[in-house]
Amino acid sequence: MDWGCVSQMNVAMAIWGAMSGAETDMWDRDLEDLMQLFAAEVRRCGGLALDVDVLTRHLMLYAAVMGMTWLLNVPALIRGRLPDLGDVKTRLDPRIRDDEGVRAPLQMLTNVMNLWETHRFGQLLNALPR
């Protein structure tokens, strides 16, 4: 059990923490439904009505920040921990798959890069007030 983020946090941070290591196809296939469900459950439990589009935008912005501040170091982490990976073709190679300290951050970086492309992070970041 990971207790690293047990504290008050913004909703985007909580959702990212719950989903950051999910398979990329889950993000692509289920994100909209999961965000709708999250908003409905918050409301059902007495919380405010959340705008799912705003919530999703906040999640994407949080993922962008995490990607830029923490996950861009993943290639160096992998090279440092597993220097002889020249013949590796996929993340399912046992040297990656069996090392959680490599596998998990690589999956998170993969998700950030996928979201960066599919959710147009550049446009989201450019739309922020300056």
Give pLDDT tens digits for 58-112: 999 999 999 999 898 999 999 898 888 888 888 899 999 999 999 999 999 999 9
**Tell me, what DSSP letter sits at residue 89?**
-
pTM of the model: 0.86
The residue range of the domain holding 25 is 11-126
Name the band, by pLDDT with cuts 50, 70 and 90, for residue 122.
confident
* Residue 5 lies inside a defined structural domain of this protein: no
* Residue 3 lies inside a defined structural domain of this protein: no
Number of domains into which the chain is organized:
1
Judging by beta carbons within 10 Å of its beta carbon (0-12, 13-18, 19+), is residue 60 exposed, middle or buried? buried
* Residue 96 lies inside a defined structural domain of this protein: yes
* Residue 17 lies inside a defined structural domain of this protein: yes
